[in-house]
Amino acid sequence: MVAALTENARRSFWDHWAAITCPMLVIMGQYGIIPAYETEAMLQRRPGTVAVSVPAAGHDVHLQHPEILGQVLQEFLGQIADQPVRGQV
């Protein structure tokens, strides 16, 4: 298991990230494990991505603050609900 996690930690997923075409929401805990420079790189590579930092949360925002996570998801989905789907006429 450690070997699998190590491989994923070293592998680059930037090409996959850049290929995504749907609206993106990045939710981070204030004390999470993703470094700020990586989050900035994510936002630079995919302009229009929405990023939210949840105060007083670590990596497990869904366990620590499920009510905040729900609110953030509802707001994001409400914002994109009226946007046309790419390729749709």
Half-sphere exposure of 60 (CA within 13 A, CB side): 2
Whether 6 is in a domain gets the answer no
- Cα separations (Å) of 51 from 24, 29, 46, 57? 8, 11, 11, 15
pLDDT by residue for the chain (89 residues), tens digit each? Answer: 767 666 666 778 889 888 988 999 999 999 998 888 988 999 999 988 999 999 999 989 999 999 999 999 999 999 988 776 665 54
Whether 61 is in a domain gets the answer yes
Range of the domain at 48: 23-89
pTM above 0.75, yes or no: no
Cα 74-77-81 angle, rounded to 5 deg: 135
Whether 54 is in a domain gets the answer yes
